[in-house]
Structure 1
């Protein structure tokens, strides 16, 4: 659609360039002669102006009529009629007088033509700019409409396919007995549940691996006063054992920290309920304690989400931990609007705000 407009603009530009070249060529043929002719034309026009000025002054001196007064129509009907007759007589007299024409060698016609041509060129340029802006706007609108049409065609195709599938399902069900339909529905639900269980198990294993291998050490570092989760990716056990300064920098690991000191610190932060299993003899490290807290918190939040509250119930936090803060920053959980000690997982199957 934009091609005809582009061709029109190209023709206008070509014509404008040709007229500009012709004008430039005509004016540059003989510069000295042209200047002399211009001076002669100016003298002729000045002489004509002086002549008309002298005639006007003679008319003013010989007439006792106030020109300012007769310039407007009189309120008296008789005077107004006289004015009209005088104007009619003046026009009648002027029609018999030959109009003033410049001499044969005058530059006045060329100047008038050049001025008209310049005005036409200026107007053409403005029209071209306006047409280009309109074409650009129409092109953007055309692209938007084409995109909308493409989306509408995709939606229409999807609806048609969906309609065909539903009609086929209805026809297939109408030819089967209710008992057969019930068996197929039960089998489909069992298969779907199996797939969901397998996917849940896979995602749970991936989450456990992520928490165990990457997240637990970073959570422990944040709990010990170190950088926020994500700012320090590789956190070693020696770094966690040494701790962090008040500015969040890792302390030097030259001096070893005793096991009792580490255990006391772990008990103070994570609590003594985070304990090792009976068959394990080695005490928990800071990363393992953070790992156990994160697993426990996620488990509690899952039970709260699937519990009797229907996804609206909140879990009461015992303390503000790095694990809860990480779940908030990751947009996995949300605080209660009026209580920052209550937390729940975001149910992505419904709106955020119930």
Structure 2
């Protein structure tokens, strides 16, 4: 056994003896207190009950406190482990109280952080608003200074130029949107409209429809037919659903996709023209349609157009701007 292990065993044996001695000492103190308490109880029972005045009671209490103050306090022997145990218990109690306090303050800290973040955001908003107001005031001051130097004719001419520039901008944007709409209808929407018109799935239920599916048609369940359809029968079906392609003026081959795209573009053009010519008159904005085609149903489902409440052969665009203003 090494010297370190021997010293450890000696310390362990010494600690064990001190712990046993401390325990015996505490048990002895407890026994002495119990004997004193039992003696006091016996004396209290043997003595007749005498009513004491408040002064006498205070005198007895004062004498008892004086006796306690003059008596030698109990102190453990030098090698006792009692002070360490008391210190450990106090430390443990302090740790528990500190943890409980931290947990109780955690919610308060979170609320304070949230309120601080909100206050910072409000301050940033107020600073931004203040800066915007300052810039607006400076702009108005400069505008007043410039207005005093410009004649009414120059102001009117400048305003006319601004309106012309705005009109050119809107014309360019309108042309761009029409081109995008035309490309979307011809390349993406037309096959889906044609499929729905041929008895296939509703637009949106089947995203990939090719020319083979359109040429073969669809069965009663809306599924593409695998068998190739006779060209004469296919042409008769085209004529029945969309009519001939001579009036379209298109140099492209007249098939289901082209027919559906032509119908959609013509319908939207008629709806736009009627809406513009109606000038706010709802009754005059309706367009008469020969049948409830897939194009018409798609516009209604998209909430872009709506049927007449009492006539399903009349359709009009929803006048968004007018209805919002109303």
Q: Measured at CA, do residues 262 and 278 of structure 1 come closer, stay the same or move farther in structure 2, by a change above 3 Å? A: closer
Closer, same or farther: CA 350–281 of 1 in aligned 2, 3 Å? closer
Q: State the Cα deviation string for residues 129-153 of structure 1 (Å, max 9, x = none).
A: 6667666665555555445544544
Map 1:224-303 → 2, pairs under 5 A: 224-230=198-204, 232-252=206-226, 254-264=227-237, 267-268=240-241, 276-277=246-247, 284-303=254-273
In structure 2, C-alpha distance between the alignment counterparts of 1:339 and 1:82, rounded to whole Å: 108
The correspondence of residues 203-242 of structure 1 with structure 2, limited to 5 A, is 203-230=177-204, 232-242=206-216
Aligned partner of 1:37 among 18, 21, 34: 18
For the 8 Å contact 1:241–1:262, the answer to whether it is kept is: no
After superposition, the Cα gap between the structure-2 partners of 1:132 and 1:90, relative to the gap in structure 1 and judged at 3 Å, is: closer
* Cα contact 2:191–2:256 (8 A) shared by 1: yes
- Bigger fraction of residues in helix: 2
- How far residue 277 of structure 1 moved from its aligned partner, in angstroms, is 0.8
1:102 aligned counterpart, secondary structure: coil
Query: SS state of the match for residue 277, structure 1?
Result: helix
1: CA distance, partners of 2:180 / 2:253: 26
Q: 1:41 to 1:288 in 2, by over 3 A?
A: same
| CA positional deviation for 1:232 | 4.2
Contact 1:313–1:344 (CA<8 Å) still a contact in 2?
Answer: no
- Aligned pair partner of 1:309 in 262, 268, 280: 280
Secondary structure of 1:235's aligned partner: coil
Q: 1:85-96, aligned counterparts within 5 Å?
A: 85-96=59-70
Query: Partners in 1 of 2:126 and 2:225 — Cα distance?
Result: 61
**2:3 counterpart residue number:** none
In the alignment, structure 2 segments of 5+ residues that lack a partner are 1-9
Give the TM-score normalised by the residue count of structure 2.
0.74
**What TM-score, normalized to structure 1?**
0.69
> Does the 8 A contact of 1:224 with 1:243 survive in 2?
yes
Give deviations 1:71-125, integer Å, cap 9, x for gaps: xxxxx8x555554443333333333222222222222211111111222233444
Question: Are 2:274 and 2:287, in contact at CA under 8 Å, matched by a contact in 1?
Answer: no
Matched, 1:98 2:79: no
Aligned to 2:5: none
Per-residue CA distance 1:248-273 (angstroms, 9 max, x = gap): 33221x422343455346635x5x5x
**Per-residue CA distance 1:148-206 (angstroms, 9 max, x = gap):** 54454444444444443343333223222222222222222122112212221221122
- The answer to whether the Cα contact below 8 Å between 2:215 and 2:228 also exists between their aligned partners in 1 is no
Q: Structure 1: which 5+ runs fail to align?
A: 1-28, 71-75
Aligned to 1:53: 34
**Cα pair 2:19 2:80 within 8 Å, conserved:** yes
Alpha-carbon separation, structure 2, partners of 1:132 and 1:313: 68
Q: Give yes or no for the alignment of 1:196 onto 2:170.
A: yes
Distance 2:311 2:92 in 1: 75
2:248·2:262 contact (CA, 8 Å) conserved in 1? Answer: no
Residue 169 of structure 1: SS of its match in structure 2? helix
Answer yes or no: is the 8 Å Cα contact 2:271–2:287 preserved in 1.
no
